[in-house]
Amino acid sequence: MEIPEFTCLCPRTGQPDFATLTLDYVPDRVCVELKSLKLYIWSYRNQGAFHEAVTNRILDDLAKAARPRYMRLTAKFYVRGGIFTTVVAETRKSGWQPLPEMDLSAVPSQPSTR
């Protein structure tokens, strides 16, 4: 899932921070419902948070709610003070291993238009 409109506030200056969040996960018994995710993400708009802390908090909250086999949250924050910040946090169930990667280069691609 890609969430291109994440915003929170810098806890020092109160200025807005903008990021694109990418959520990759392998569900177990529960899936993340998109409208609930959207409302949860919007709840950060007026909260002050450091980039690393907010990324870890969102991952912790989502993992607690969905209890996935695997979940990774990548937060790409736009420039602040001349620096782009990317934070990656992940969690996995004990013993979970991904399946081997598949080589898709031999699969013919379909045009994206009709």
Which one from 8, 17, 28, 60 is the annotated catalytic residue? 17
Active site annotation includes 10: yes
Nearest to 23 by CA among 67, 65, 48, 55: 55
Distance of alpha carbon 53 from alpha carbon 56, whole angstroms:
5
- For the record, the structure tokens of 41 come out as 């993400």
In which residue are the tokens 């810098």 written? 10
Which one from 8, 10, 60, 103 is the annotated catalytic residue? 10
Buried b (16+ CB within 10 A) or exposed e, 41-56: beebeeeebebeebbb
Residues noted as catalytic = 10, 17
